[in-house]
């Protein structure tokens, strides 16, 4: 049975272009590695034919998370999965954010509302003294059903609909994203690689990314700690990861997201990051 060195995992249809796909594929092939691209829920795929299976643009996983986690666990039995299944389960539900402050990692304040809870958005805002909020499903990707609302114009109907469908996150709107944006710090093989800026994005909007940027010392320290937490879940250094940070009113960085499942890695801003990725994949294949 012939095997491929690397299987790049995607979804069909792809909700938006994967700008990392072409440069990564070309760089892997230039390194002498055979590459194929497969859709994660395609029943015809023989995952054992891939020595290393690399999750990349599986951007529909949130629609059937349980099936996706099971897929990861099954693939891990026949191929080296990056990143591993245990971190797929952890990172695919945003409940993980609640565990980070227990490790001393600063996070955007977060209220997790469980499915079918009988609570209003107004009550949460009053309890937390928030004048504007962002709400999103706890299992989501991109800007799916992410909404920003002011206290005087809360849409309880949207909130109730989201709770009816699953767990929901409620967070204060961080004013710094309007000008400073989010800083996305990319890590390859447990080392910081490069940094980009994400502009605010809500349901129905396109993503705008600029870069590269040099992170501050405090941003790098928080991102390092966040990646350490993800590595601990995986019980190994992860091949790739991205930590999205915002600033509080005192200009201190807070974790908005840890993305170790299927993040865009913005290789267009760092050829060195792309080379490091290919090298790290090669090392894993040799080991």
CB burial class (10 A; 0-12, 13-18, 19+) of residue 234? buried
pLDDT of the residue at 203: 54
- The band of 94, judged by pLDDT with boundaries at 50, 70 and 90, is very high
Q: Which of 231, 239, 135 is nearest to 186 (CA)?
A: 239
**140: phi then psi, degrees, rounded to nearest 5:** -160, 165
pLDDT tens-digit readout, 61-74: 999 999 999 999 99
Mean pLDDT computed over 71-88: 98
Percent pLDDT > 90 in the chain is: 92
Rounded to whole angstroms, the Cα distance separating 75 from 48 reads 8
List all residues 6 or more positions away from 267 whose beta carbon is below 8 Å from its beta carbon: 19, 20, 23, 24, 273, 274, 277
Topology of domain 176-265, CATH: D-amino Acid Aminotransferase; Chain A, domain 1 (3.30.470)
Q: Which of 62, 65, 168, 165 is nearest to 111 (CA)?
A: 168
pLDDT tens-digit readout, 47-66: 999 999 999 999 999 999 99
Mean pLDDT computed over 258-277: 97
Chain centroid to CA 177: how far? 18
pLDDT of the residue at 141: 84
Give CA separation, 91 vs 78, 97, 229, 235, in Å. 22, 9, 11, 14
Question: Per residue in 44-79, is it b (16+ CB within 10 Å) or e — as a string?
Answer: ebebebbbbbbbbbbbbbbeebeebbebbeebbeeb
The H or E element containing residue 224 is helix 217-234
Q: Write out the residue limits of the CATH 3.30.1490 domain(s) in the chain.
A: 111-173
Three-state secondary structure call for residue 77: coil
Ranking 179-183, 261-265, 276-280 by mean pLDDT, the lowest is 179-183
> Which of the four CATH numbers 3.40.50, 3.30.1490, 2.60.40, 3.90.25 does domain 111-173 have?
3.30.1490
- 82 bridge partner residues: 54
Asked whether the bond before 182 is cis by omega within 30 degrees of 0, the reply is no
pLDDT tens-digit readout, 184-235: 999 999 999 999 998 876 655 667 899 999 999 999 999 999 999 999 999 9
pLDDT of the residue at 204: 56
Rounded to whole angstroms, the Cα distance separating 115 from 30 reads 48
Mean pLDDT computed over 88-108: 97
Q: Write out the residue limits of the CATH 3.40.50.20 domain(s) in the chain.
A: 4-91+282-286
Q: Is the pLDDT at 254 greater than 80, yes or no?
A: yes
Q: What is the largest CA-CA distance in the chain?
A: 63
**Residue ranges of the alpha helices (H) in 31-155?**
65-75, 85-91, 96-99, 121-128
Q: According to CATH, what is the number of the domain 4-91+282-286? A: 3.40.50.20
């Amino acid at each position: 049975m012939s095997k491929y060195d690397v299987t790049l995992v995607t979804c069909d249809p792809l909700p938006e272009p994967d700008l990392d796909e072409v440069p990564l594929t070309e760089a892997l092939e230039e390194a002498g590695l055979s590459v194929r691209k497969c859709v994660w829920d395609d029943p015809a795929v023989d995952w054992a034919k891939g020595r290393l299976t690399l999750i990349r643009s599986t951007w529909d996983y949130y629609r059937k998370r349980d099936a996706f986690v099971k897929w990861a666990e099954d693939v891990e039995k026949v191929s080296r999965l990056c990143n591993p299944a245990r971190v797929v389960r952890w990172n695919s539900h945003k409940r993980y954010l609640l565990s980070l402050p227990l490790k001393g990692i600063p996070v955007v304040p977060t209220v997790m509302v469980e499915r079918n809870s009988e609570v209003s958005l107004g009550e949460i805002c009053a309890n937390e003294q928030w004048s504007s909020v962002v709400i999103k499903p706890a299992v989501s990707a991109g800007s799916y059903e992410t909404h920003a609302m002011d206290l005087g114009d809360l849409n309880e109907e949207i909130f109730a609909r989201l709770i009816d469908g699953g767990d929901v996150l409620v967070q204060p709107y961080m004013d710094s994203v309007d000008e400073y944006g989010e800083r996305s710090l990319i890590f390859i093989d447990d080392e910081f690689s490069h940094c980009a800026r994400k502009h605010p994005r809500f349901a129905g909007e396109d993503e705008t990314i600029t870069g590269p940027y040099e992170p501050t010392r405090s941003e790098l320290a928080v991102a390092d700690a966040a990646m350490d937490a993800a590595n601990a879940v995986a019980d190994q250094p992860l091949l790739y990861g991205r930590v999205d940070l915002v600033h509080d009113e005192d200009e201190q960085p807070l974790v908005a997201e840890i993305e170790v499942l299927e993040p865009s890695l913005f290789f267009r801003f760092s050829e060195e990051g792309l080379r490091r990725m290919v090298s790290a994949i090669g090392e894993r294949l040799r080991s």
